[in-house]
Structure 1
Amino acid sequence: MEQASPIDVTVRTRPRRDEVRARVLAAARVVFADRGFAGASTDQVAAAAGFTKGAVYSNFGSKDELFLALMDAEGAARVAAVEQALDGTTDLPGALAVVGAELSRRNTSWQLLYLEFWQRAVRDPDVRTAFVASRRELRTRVTEVVERFLADHPVRTGWDAGSLTLVLLALTSGLALEALPDPDAVPDDVLPRVLADLLDEIP
């Protein structure tokens, strides 16, 4: 007598909301990098993540909101990398070298995406509001890192943490922009050297 095939009783569970969000963000990073912000669609992001477009919009209200979340994640990763690198640094020159290396780490596709969205934010008041809020949050987080380091390793710099953070981010952005068409034009040690001169450390 022929044996009946066993019944498949595998229970397929739906992915958790945080898993869906993480997969959509990961897919968005790839799709945006491949097509640019303007050329990418939420349909393409959803397909790359293995979901329908509804999964994108259940987590992000628009393509702009999706990109801003990606930008926040990129900023958080940079801040975390700086914090980890500073853990083993006790002197200001060493800290400058570490911060310079982390903040100026080159990622051409991300820099191009950031510039594309920056133009959109400058031209569209509604997008600008959310973009400015995101940048202010990033500056706040970096400022907190700088404040903690200066508190643990007091040096007379003549700079407050907020101003120093602004200079750090501005120099990083400017040097990254200069390096996009001509990477060899910006040596890796430029940022820490400039910061060392600006701080004018007093023993």
Structure 2
Amino acid sequence: MAELADLEDPKARQVNERHGDDHGVNLGKLRAVAKRLKTQQELAVRLWATGDGAARLLALLICRPKAFGREQLDLMLREARTPKVQDWLIGNVVKKSPYAEELRVSWSADPDPVVASAGWELTADRVARSPEGLDLAGLLDVIEARMKDAPDRLQWAMNHCLARIGIEHPEHRERAVGIGERLEVLKDYPTSPGCTSPFAPVWIAEMVRRQSDQG
């Protein structure tokens, strides 16, 4: 914890806080610490228990994903209230867990929109990697009905799922683009030069173009 405190950068914290995060440690430096520590599950659990944002991010880099039980992961998600910690928890731990599918289903239906956003992120991942058994048309129905008025993080995750359906599944592409055009979610989102807009119709078109170029 003292080492993490020494890495604290007030300017980094200021930038991170604008995105809803609560740490001021450069992520490259944090990854260097994790590389030195290697996998240490007991230390990861202790770091998580501190509640400190940087410590939790470090914990997610040095833990053993399959060592966590289903209830543990559910509790960790509910404790992880900042976007970066939630993203790393899902990407580095939950996706590698044997409970990923169970949690995807239960979280997607959770009344807490932050928890539900985690379920939708896992669904977006399944849409791209292993869509067998998913009702893609049904997902589009839910997105069309609920995304426009969803809270920010849930809306972002639903939009990600919408784009993934359009990118990966040509048979649903026209409908996915149409939903994006009608709802106009993230249409005016500020996008840096060289980056792709998160507005689903633009995102879908750009990724399909890249796939075509590679093919």
Using structure 2 for the length normalisation, give the TM-score. Answer: 0.27
Using structure 1 for the length normalisation, give the TM-score. Answer: 0.28
| Structure of greater Rg | 1
